[in-house]
């Protein structure tokens, strides 16, 4: 069987992406993100990264995937739905929806590795790497360049007719494919996310001061929360979904079909009193395989208690 040409290979890639449950796929040419260099510098200089010192590292790789994956020609970006079909009990310590089930780093990568293996049966050996929020890759910027959507005022990637309840993942490789065109911004004059953020963490369109962000306070901040920061939690114990909950584009969200994203146990129905009884052993059983493991029992319970 003759090797497929670039157009045929790209069509096959799109078919595989749908077959494997991705809601979108797009291609961008590898290059330095010169337009992002000053934005990154300004964000860091303002101290908006807080205690996330790792954001200052690997600057060259962050701005140029060719430094991360030598010989790479394209960044193929994917979007994978995680929106759950259930809800959490009201007035209990809230957990961001992306963390309800299995750790997305593992789940999405496993799916993408299977996709790559099948793609190689047609394309031949692919030299490259797979990423899901696991390296200094500017995922949202590359997804926007590849036409998956646009970066909204809350700094998340939004896709018309889909919303933003999805994970991003990439194949950075030597595959030579025709790049896709970026799409236009469809936020317009809407400021719902900015208006709804209880801590005013969105300091300008597309720019978030992490030090004010509830997700940062409940996950990334390693030093103890101050009394003022506890007051900023607004009922959240891990992450925060407020800016997505109010986004008009998310009215199109549909439940995911990934069994590994289903929550373990019945904790979605717990009230605050039950959360306060959570032991470290229980935490490990329920959340050891989820993104909550990143925060750990102590950090998580700090937020649970801080929400009393």
* Three-state secondary structure call for residue 230: helix
In whole angstroms, give the CA distance from residue 196 to residue 211.
Answer: 17
- Kind plus residue range of the DSSP H or E element containing 14: helix 6-19
Strand partners, 25: 78
Pick from 250, 63, 40: nearest CA to 142: 63
Pairing relationship of beta strands 166-173 and 128-131 according to DSSP bridges: antiparallel
DSSP H helices in 220-277: 227-231, 242-245, 272-276
Residues 145, 149, 155: CA angle, nearest 5 degrees = 90
Pick from 97, 139, 135, 108: nearest CA to 239: 97
Tokens encoding 33: 């993100």
Pick from 185, 186, 80: nearest CA to 139: 80
Strand partners, 129: 172
Instruction: Report how far Cα 21 is from the mean position of its chain's Cα atoms.
Output: 16
In the annotation, is 42 catalytic?
Answer: no
Query: Which position among 110, 133, 180, 185 bears the catalytic label?
Result: 133
Provide the annotated active-site residues. Answer: 133
């Amino acid at each position: 069987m003759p090797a497929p040409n670039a157009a045929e290979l790209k069509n096959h890639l799109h078919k595989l992406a749908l077959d494997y449950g991705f809601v979108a796929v797009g291609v961008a040419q590898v290059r330095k993100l010169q337009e992002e260099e000053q934005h990154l510098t300004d964000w860091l200089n303002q101290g908006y990264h807080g205690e996330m010192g790792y954001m200052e590292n690997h600057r060259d790789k962050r701005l140029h995937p060719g430094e991360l994956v030598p010989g790479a020609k394209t960044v193929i970006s994917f979007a994978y739905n995680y929106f759950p079909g259930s809800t959490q009990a009201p007035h209990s310590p809230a957990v961001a929806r992306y963390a309800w089930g299995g750790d997305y780093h593992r789940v999405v990568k496993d799916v993408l590795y299977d996709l790559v293996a099948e793609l190689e049966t047609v394309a031949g050996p692919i030299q490259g790497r797979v990423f899901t929020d696991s390296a200094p890759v500017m995922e949202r910027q590359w997804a926007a360049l590849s036409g998956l959507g646009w970066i909204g005022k809350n700094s998340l990637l939004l896709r018309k007719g889909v919303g933003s309840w999805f994970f991003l993942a990439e194949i950075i490789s030597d595959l030579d494919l025709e790049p896709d065109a970026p799409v236009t911004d469809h936020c317009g004059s809407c400021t719902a996310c900015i208006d709804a953020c209880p801590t005013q963490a969105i300091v300008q369109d597309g720019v978030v001061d992490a030090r004010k962000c509830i997700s940062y306070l409940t996950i990334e901040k390693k030093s103890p929360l101050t009394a003022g920061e506890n007051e900023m939690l607004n009922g959240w114990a891990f992450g925060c979904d407020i800016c997505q909950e109010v986004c008009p584009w998310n009215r199109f969200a549909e439940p995911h079909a990934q069994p590994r994203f289903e929550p373990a146990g019945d904790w979605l129905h717990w009230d605050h009193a039950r959360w306060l009884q959570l032991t470290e052993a229980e935490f490990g059983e329920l959340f050891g395989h989820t993104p909550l493991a990143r925060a750990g029992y102590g950090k998580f319970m700090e937020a649970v208690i801080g929400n009393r």
